[in-house]
Structure 1
């Protein structure tokens, strides 16, 4: 005599409750109904770290490297819209300082791959700002 799988019992109960809810129309008019699901590409995150990554992301926490990148991006945005030349120079110095600080903190350079869209965007914006200042 084989033992019953407790998970199959739970699965059976869950499926029945879902069917009951569907027949009562409880899933009608839910937010996002009829729209495609937005699936995340987590292929760049190691499989054993994906759950922790999702929990931290949902809690609004970013890894320090991404927090640095976000702040540098914010500063580059400020530079792009800065009219005052002295303020622009000050912000450019701040960007340089943050990159240097990141190198020291993480014991490695702030590495941007050339195929990273952020890399091209940062270079384009810094070139534009340098031309504008010069």
Structure 2
């Protein structure tokens, strides 16, 4: 056992003795499964760190923003408001497309098929 492992064990034992771990939110419950099996093993730890830090990849946040703008556009009643939302939506979609092309996702046949299915579902709802 390395020095860091020993120090960690000592700190945990000390916290247990002091009752610092008694009122944790998940006490007595199973921890949620953090399934990263689709991520290559050498990248899993970095993905977990980013996820725990609240980092969201730009393409994910852009997609969410596009969906939000699309919903707002459908709810807008004034022409000026609709035009402003349409302009913002077009800008976000263009940025997303550029980002996906930079990352090599925009030209993938499988990605394009998947994207069209998602787009169809969003439009139908």
Is TM more than 0.5 here?
Answer: yes
Instruction: Give, in angstroms, the shift of residue 70 of structure 1.
Output: 2.4
CA contact (8 A) 1:75 1:95 kept: yes
TM norm structure 1: 0.56
Instruction: Give, in angstroms, the shift of residue 25 of structure 1.
Output: 8.9
Structure 2 unaligned blocks of 5 or more: none
Instruction: Give, in angstroms, the shift of residue 54 of structure 1.
Output: 1.8
Instruction: Give, in angstroms, the shift of residue 64 of structure 1.
Output: 2.2
TM norm structure 2: 0.59
SS at match of 2:77: coil
Count of equivalent residues: 113
User: In the alignment, does 2:35 pair up with 1:38?
Assistant: no
Structure 1 unaligned blocks of 5 or more: 1-5, 129-134
User: In the alignment, does 2:58 pair up with 1:61?
Assistant: no
Q: Equivalent of 2:90, from 85, 93, 96?
A: 96
Provide the residue aligned with 1:132 in structure 2: none
RMSD over aligned CA atoms reads: 3.7
CA contact (8 A) 1:76 1:126 kept: no
Instruction: Give, in angstroms, the shift of residue 68 of structure 1.
Output: 1.8
Instruction: Give, in angstroms, the shift of residue 113 of structure 1.
Output: 5.7
